[in-house]
Structures are given as structure tokens and as C-alpha cells.
Amino acid sequence: MPIHPSAKPSSDRRRITTARIAEMKTRGEKIAALTAYDFSTAKILDDAGLDILLVGDSASNVVHGHETTLPITLDQMIDHASAVVRAARSALVVVDLPFGTYQGNSRLALESAVRVMKESGAHAVKMEGGERVIESIRRVLSAGIPVMGHLGLTPQSIYQFGSYVVRATEGDESQRVSDDALLLQAAGCFALVLEKIPAALARALSERLAIPTIGIGAGPHVDGQVLVTPDLLGITTDFSPRFLRRYAALADVMADAFRRYVSDVKSSAFPSEEESY
């Protein structure tokens, strides 16, 4: 895989490629993915051994404070992706194409994906949906751009779903997700995110598909897992779905640090002589 000049891997760490992600499934090695939106956090994630850094359009919620993923723009996604690429020495960087940049228009989809690849130096894009966006996905793939699919609860369609409840629990939708998964594999997607679907369906799909499945709220029998990093870190506190495991309570740690700083500034305890020139 050609390496973006600002993101050269160090000599002791091999770049994760889409081919290596495929091999991981063959070997039975689980794929660890998390979202990343900025340079400093992406550097810590990359050093910690993440296989995939997903520049998710969840940035719309957790960075920009919107209620849904819909408002974030392609320019904003490219800014986030460029920062993450500069930090990622080893991980594969995958970028969400945001809402309105690929649905129903395959020419626009290709333009959007090309902008992401050229301007950020990312390694792949992610697109939500199956049959109804297949033309766009095929066109992006035809340009040699790797595509990760995304089925189940696809947040860009939230106003059609009406809520964030678990998807594909009924026969019709379950069948549609299965058909879409096979279609995306046949089109050439290198991996597939399965969001908030029953564990049994995710397991059946993971066993049937040759390409890796990355689950979020899809149970343990998938080929990898992804979470939204500020949720995992406990920076966001108002979002507690059953599938989320919090590995830290950073909101408390940060609030305590900020309060102590305010107190030190107000009392002139900061800066000290040693902290001055």
C-alpha cells in the first residue's frame, strides 16, 4: 500500500493493510478497531496496537455536539482524517463518507472518496448501506479505493429508523441484512461493520462471509470489535447502551483536573517560581 508522506511507519512496525486485515480473519486473530478524530488521541491509539482507526462520522456527535451524524461535512471529515493519518504509524485509517456525499449519486460518491484519499492520505473509506448504495460503492471500488461496508443500525438513516433500537430482529430485515452483506462482499468490500444486530445473526454472517465482520453491539462471534473512543473512555457520560464497556471514567478525571487548575489560578498557586522564566 502506498504510504502518505506524512504518515511513514517506523521501521519496527509494519503498516496494517486491507490484505493483513483479511489474513487476520483467516488466522482467527480478532481485529481491534476504535474511532479517532484528532492527532494526539490517534497517536496513543496507534501506539497501543489498534489495527484500525476509524475516523467515524460519530465526530458529528462526540466532537461537534450534534444530535445525529447527519450535519458533519466532507471538509470536516477530511480535517479529522488528516490529523489521524499524521499520527498513525501502523494502523489502517478508514474514514466515513458523511451523509449526503454518496447516496443516490455514484459520481458524487467517487468524487467524495477521491477527496478523502487525496487530501487526508487515509487508506480506505466506509459507506453505510447495502443494495440501495451499491452503485456508489462499486464506483468507488472501481477507482481502487478500498471500501468498508456498514449494515444494521446505520446512523445516517436514523430519521427513517425513528430510534436507535436494535435492528434486524424480524425476518424481513434480517434477510435484507444478510442479502446486503453478501452483495457488499461480492462487490469487493474488504470488511463489514455490523452495528446493533442480534448476536446470532452476526455470528451466522461472520461464519458465512469470507471478509471480516467488525461488530458494535453485535455480540462476540464476529471477527473484530469497534467502539466510539470517547464512550469507551467515559468522556461521554450520557450514552450507556448495553453493548458499551467503559474502560475508564475520564470525565471524572478531567473534571477534577480542571477544577484544581481553576482553583490554583484563582489562588495564584499556579504558576510557581519553578514554572516561571
Q: Return residues touching ligand KIV (CB under 6 A).
A: 35, 54, 56-58, 96, 193, 195, 216, 226, 228
8-state DSSP, 17: -
Residue 55 backbone phi and psi in degrees, to 5: -80, 85
Q: Please, what is the Cα angle at 149 between 60 and 103, to 5 degrees?
A: 65
Q: Which is nearer to ligand KIV, 35 or 236 (CB)?
A: 35
How far is Cα 34 from Cα 87, in angstroms, rounded to an integer? 14
Amino acid type, 74? L
Catalytic residues: 195
> Would you say 32 and 51 are in contact if contact means Cβ atoms under 8 Å apart?
yes
Q: Which is nearer to ligand KIV, 104 or 241 (CB)?
A: 241
| Region of residue 152 (left: phi > 0; alpha: psi -120 to 50; beta: else) | left
H/E stretch holding 24: helix 18-27
Residue 140 backbone phi and psi in degrees, to 5: -65, -45
Beta carbon of residue 96, minimum distance to ligand KIV (angstroms, whole number) = 5
Q: Which is nearer to ligand KIV, 96 or 223 (CB)?
A: 96
How far is Cα 88 from Cα 83, in angstroms, rounded to an integer? 9
Q: Which is nearer to ligand KIV, 9 or 219 (CB)?
A: 219
The residue nearest ligand KIV at its CB is 56
How far is Cα 57 from Cα 96, in angstroms, rounded to an integer? 6
> Would you say 31 and 21 are in contact if contact means Cβ atoms under 8 Å apart?
yes
How far is Cα 147 from Cα 150, in angstroms, rounded to an integer? 10
> Would you say 35 and 227 are in contact if contact means Cβ atoms under 8 Å apart?
yes
Q: Which is nearer to ligand KIV, 9 or 68 (CB)?
A: 68
